[in-house]
Amino acid sequence: MVEHEQAKRGRPGYDREQILQVAVALFIEQGYDATSVAQLAERLGLTKSALYHHFSSKEELLSLALEQALGGLEAVLQTRDATTGTASDRLGVVLHGAVRVLAARLPAVTLLLRVRGNSDTERAALARRRAFDRTVTALVRAAQDEGSVRADIDASVATRLVFGMVNSVVEWYRPTGPEGADQLADDVLAVALDGLRTR
Amino acid sequence: MVEHEQAKRGRPGYDREQILQVAVALFIEQGYDATSVAQLAERLGLTKSALYHHFSSKEELLSLALEQALGGLEAVLQTRDATTGTASDRLGVVLHGAVRVLAARLPAVTLLLRVRGNSDTERAALARRRAFDRTVTALVRAAQDEGSVRADIDASVATRLVFGMVNSVVEWYRPTGPEGADQLADDVLAVALDGLRTR
């Protein structure tokens, strides 16, 4: 299908999404800062000018990848189930949704988690991550206020610990492995909300 | 005291442990592979030959730092409380101890978590990390067998999730912050074993 569309457009090779995928994989492999446009062109088997036909800069590629990750996470916060019901239920919806975004957009989220603020693009992404974290922290605090989440742990520490667990999944999860994304999200939710210990 | 000892030895400047600390900080800041001995000497205000008086190679510095992290984690597994009692209690002891090692040896553990296997030293460290993980996974499985840990999550997934949470602490924990190491270890244990949700 992709090949057919490319044939129709009369432009052999890669479309923007495919170039982005290869770029993100290369950024993960050797670091964004350490990757040159020349190396990316070589990996793709394209000339630099052919690459610049699709993208204006390396930073545009980074920006698009970070948008995939952040846009996915932010969309979870907008869903009906994340905005109605008890704070405890909404927290569960957000955690489950975040794991599914992570599993579905693994390379983009992996890149997001490595961003350190070395450019305007990276700083903007960090600001959006912090805004996401603040929303989740407020949700944890609301759940503490309604009595459904333990109040003996600071809400921001609790949020960091639980998202530390969520984010750590990028280190080992592979979409082709035995653990499906829904099962993984269920497992994360079970440990985060109910813990390992039997009741 | 340190200065006094140095004065007695007649060698002004750094001792081995201080050089190691500066090296680990620099490796974390700009990456181990990207850091040259010349850069490290410059950061220390030493000549390269003065640095080689203390250490035979950059890899020796990495190896010593990884030993601090791995030695600390492995020592937790050897304690009496981690080797006697129910599997559930031992698991709690290991988790608590791992968080305290992480907090006490934050730079070394941070470096350990970034190791990707690019040299014999790194591969040996990864092998020791895997052995540690296997021991903890066996402990989770034993706790499942005794009925104290939920059996509906695969033991190795459960171990990865919980250690994902433990390891994520390096991203934000600062020993000088409001959260003490013992409090942090208690919080991690509470979330990992009992979850956020009130019972």
The answer, yes or no, to whether residue B10 has pLDDT greater than 80, is no
Has residue B11 got a pLDDT over 90?
no
Residue A44 is assigned to a structural domain of this protein? yes
CA–CA min distance B144, chain A (Å): 9
Q: Single out the residue in A37, A55, A73 at which a domain terminates.
A: A55
Q: What is the CATH number of the domain that holds B24?
A: 1.10.10.60
One domain, residues B183 and B96: yes
The ipTM is 0.89
CA-CA-CA-CA dihedral for B146, B148, B151, B154, to nearest 10 = -90
Rounded to the nearest angstrom, the minimum Cα separation between B52 and chain A is 28
pLDDT for A86 beyond 70: yes
Q: How far apart, in whole angstroms, are the C-alpha atoms of residue A43 and residue B134?
A: 37
Secondary-structure percent of chain A, ordered helix, strand, coil, rounded to 5: 75, 0, 25
Of A93-107, A149-163, A170-184, minimum mean pLDDT range? A170-184
Domain assignment present for residue A115? The answer is yes
User: Tens digits of per-residue pLDDT, B48-96?
Assistant: 999 999 999 999 999 999 999 999 999 999 999 999 999 999 999 999 9
Last residue of a domain, one of A40, A55, A70: A55
* Mean local confidence (pLDDT), A9-20: 76
**A9 part of a folded domain:** yes
Residues B21, B79, A162, CA angle at the centre, nearest 5°?
A: 65
**Domain annotation covers residue A154:** yes
Claim to verify: residue B42 and residue B95 sit in the same structural domain: no
- The least confident of A3-12, A148-157, A159-168 is A3-12
Residues of B in contact with A198 (CB under 8 A): 147-150
Minimum Cα–Cα distance from A186: chain B residue: B153
Q: Is there a single domain that holds both residue A47 and residue A75? A: no
Report the pLDDT value the prediction gives residue A199, as an integer from 0 to 100. 76
- For residue A199, being part of any structural domain is answered with no
Residues B38 and B72 in one domain: no
Total structural domains in chain A? 2
In a domain, B199, yes or no: no
- Whether residue B50 is found in the same domain as residue B119: no
Residues B81 and B13 in one domain: no
Strand partners, B149: A197
Interval A90-114: pLDDT, tens: 999 999 999 999 999 999 999 999 9
A9 pLDDT band, cuts 50/70/90, is very low
B141 domain-assigned:
yes
Same domain, A73 and A30: no
Beta-ladder partners of B197: A149
**Chain B environment of A190 (Cβ under 8 Å):** 150, 152-153, 195
DSSP string, B33-100: TT--HHHHHHHHT--HHHHHHH-S-HHHHHHHHHHHHHHHHHHHHHSHHHHSS-HHHHHHHHHHHHHH
Chain B residues with CB under 8 Å of A153 CB are: 187, 190-191, 196
Q: Specify whether the CB–CB gap between B93 and B81 falls below 8 A.
A: yes
- Best mutation target among B162, B196, B198 (most A Cβ atoms within 10 Å) is B196
**Tell me, what CATH number does B149's domain have?**
1.10.357.10
Contacting residues of A for B30, CB less than 8 Å apart = none
Residues A22 and A118 in one domain: no
Q: Which residue of B has its CA nearest to A197?
A: B149
Asked if residue A185 is part of any domain, the answer here is yes
What pLDDT digit, counting tens, does each position of B140-184 carry? 999 999 999 999 999 999 999 999 999 999 999 998 877 789 999
* Co-location of B38 and B92 in the same domain: no
- Residues A119 and A172 both lie in one domain: yes
Check A197 against B164: CB less than 8 A apart.
Answer: no
End-of-domain residue from the set B36, B55, B74? B55
Nearest CA in chain A to B197: A149
* A159 and A77 housed in the same domain: yes
Q: Are B157 and B84 members of one domain?
A: yes
Domain with A28 in it: 2-55
User: What is the CB-side half-sphere exposure of residue B129 using CA atoms within 13 A?
Assistant: 20
Name the minimum distance, in Å, from the CA of A164 to any CA of chain B: 5
The pLDDT of residue B12 is 52
Structure pTM?
Answer: 0.90
φ and ψ at residue B89, rounded to 5 degrees: -65, -40
Its sign, for the CA torsion B149, B153, B156, B162, is negative
State which residue of chain A sits closest to B189, comparing Cα positions.
A195
